[in-house]
Amino acid sequence: MANAKRASATGVCIDPERALAEMRAFGEQLAAGAAVFKEMRSVPVAPTPKERVYRTDKAVLYRFRPPARRRIPVPLLIVYALANRHYVTDLQADRSTIRGLLGAGVDVYLIDWGYPDAADRSLTLDDYINGYIDACVNWIREQHGVEGVNLLGICQGGTFSLCYGALHPDKVRNLVTMVTPVDFHTPDDLLGRWLREVDVDLLVDTFGNIPGQLLNATFLKLRPLRVGGRQHLELLAGLADTARARLFARMERWIHDSPDQAGEAFRQFAKDFYQRNALVRGEVVLGGRRVDLGCIEMPLLNVYATEDHLVPPEASLALGRHVASGDYATMAFRGGHIGIYVSARAMRDVPPAIGAWLRERSQSKSGKGKRASGQRKRARKDPSLKSATATRSTKTPHRSRKKTKG
C-alpha cells in the first residue's frame, strides 16, 4: 500500500517485477557485450591492400591494389581533410568507399597527411596545396603518362581540391567533391558561426599546432546528444552482436584519432575561409596567386549529404554559382557527414555512381566542359547518377621537401 501511495503521489507507476526483469536483461546485455569486447582486443582498420609509392615530408602517397579490370584509364587521387584520418573511407571490408571505387574499375591513389608535429608548425595552405598535392599529382601524371588526373576531395580536402583545380586546371581531368564546404557563411553552419567568434591568432600563438583533441571535442559538441548519448544507447541494444560491436569500435577509434593541425595552415583556413568567407569572394591567395573558382572548367560532380551538420547542404551547393564548368552535376545522399562514407546505403549507392560518372568522362580526350561565353552558370542534376535519396606564404618559400619513391 505504501508503495502504491508513493507512486500515486509522484505520478509515476512502477511495476516492480517488470523493473527487475529489465534490470536483469540489461545486466545480461552488459555481460555479453563485455565478453565480445574482451574477445576483440583490437580492431584493425583499412583492410584494402595498398602500397606506399611516394613520400614528401610526412605526406605519403598510397596506391591501392589496382582492380583486375581497370575500366577507367585515368587514375583517381583522393585528397582527405587534415582533421581525423583518411581510413574512414576504408573502415572495414563491407564499409569501404575505397573498395567500392575499386569495384567500379577506378585506379585509386590517396594522400595520407600523417601526424604534424612541432617541425610542421609553419606549414601553410600553400605548402599543402601547391606543394604536397601538386607533387603527388605530378608523380601520378608521370607514372601513368597522362596530362591530368581525376581528383576526389573529401570535406576540407574537397576545398583544397577546388583551390588546386582553380590554380592548376590543366592537371585535373575531372573533379569530384564530397561533403565539401564552399560557402562558409550559410545560416545553418554551426561550426562556421562558432569559428567566427574565435580569436584564431591568439589560439595559434598560444598552442603553435592546434591540438587535435581540442578540435575533436568541438566537433563532438556540435551534436552532443547524437554523438555522446544516442549512439551509445543504440549500441547497448545490440552489444552481443559481434559485427555491430566491431563496427562501433572502429568508428570510436576513428573519431578519437585526431592529428594536430599545423598552426599556420589552421590560421589561414580559419581566418580566410571560415571568418572572411574568402573562397566565394575570390579573395583567397596561395603562392601569390588568387584562387578564382571561375577557372574551374573541367567536369565537376558535387556530392553532398542532406543531413550534414558539419557541412550543411547549402554550404556545398553554393559551388554551382561560382564555377565555370559546363558539365556540373550534383548528387544528394540522404544521410549525414560520416554516414556518406560508412553506411550500408552509401556503400550501395555512392561509389558506383562516382565510378559511372568518371567512366563516362574519362574515355575521350576532351576533359573540359567550358561554358560558352556569357552562358548562365547553373547547377544541374546529372540524370545518369543514382541519387542516394532517389598559401604559398609570400613571406617564406616552400620548405625543402624530402621526396622518396616507394
Determine the pLDDT at residue 21: 83
* pLDDT digits 0-9 by tens, 369-378: 444 333 333 4
Asked if pLDDT for residue 231 goes beyond 90, the answer is: no
- Say which of 13, 136, 155, 163 is annotated catalytic: 155
* pLDDT digits 0-9 by tens, 210-224: 999 888 888 777 766
Confidence of residue 101 (pLDDT cuts 50, 70, 90): very high
Among residues 143, 84, 83, the alpha carbon closest in space to that of 109 is found at: 143
Place of cell 612541432: 118
Residue 51, exposed/middle/buried by CB under 10 A (0-12, 13-18, 19+)?
Answer: exposed
Torsion of CA 211, 184, 150, 335, to 10 degrees: 90
- Domains within the chain, CATH numbers bracketed: 50-369+376-405 (3.40.50.1820)
Asked if pLDDT for residue 379 goes beyond 80, the answer is: no
Asked if pLDDT for residue 380 goes beyond 60, the answer is: no
- 163 classed as catalytic: no
Confidence of residue 359 (pLDDT cuts 50, 70, 90): very high
Determine the pLDDT at residue 232: 61
Asked if pLDDT for residue 273 goes beyond 50, the answer is: yes
- The C-alpha cell at 180 is 565539401
Confidence of residue 2 (pLDDT cuts 50, 70, 90): very low
Determine the pLDDT at residue 5: 44
Residue 386, exposed/middle/buried by CB under 10 A (0-12, 13-18, 19+)?
Answer: middle
- Which tops the pLDDT comparison, 186 or 11? 186
Is residue 356 within 8 A of residue 104, CB to CB? The reply is yes
Asked if pLDDT for residue 31 goes beyond 60, the answer is: yes
Asked if pLDDT for residue 9 goes beyond 60, the answer is: no
Among residues 370, 312, 369, the alpha carbon closest in space to that of 336 is found at: 312
DSSP label at 325? Answer: B
Give 79's strand partners: 111, 153
Determine which of 68-72, 154-158, 262-266 has the lowest per-residue pLDDT on average.
68-72
Asked if pLDDT for residue 73 goes beyond 60, the answer is: yes
User: Which residues are CB-neighbours of 214 under 8 A, at least 6 positions away?
Assistant: 207
Is residue 91 within 8 A of residue 251, CB to CB? The reply is yes
Determine the pLDDT at residue 191: 86
CA distances from 298 to 260, 361, 365, 387 (A): 33, 10, 12, 22
Asked if pLDDT for residue 41 goes beyond 80, the answer is: no
Average pLDDT over residues 196-206: 95
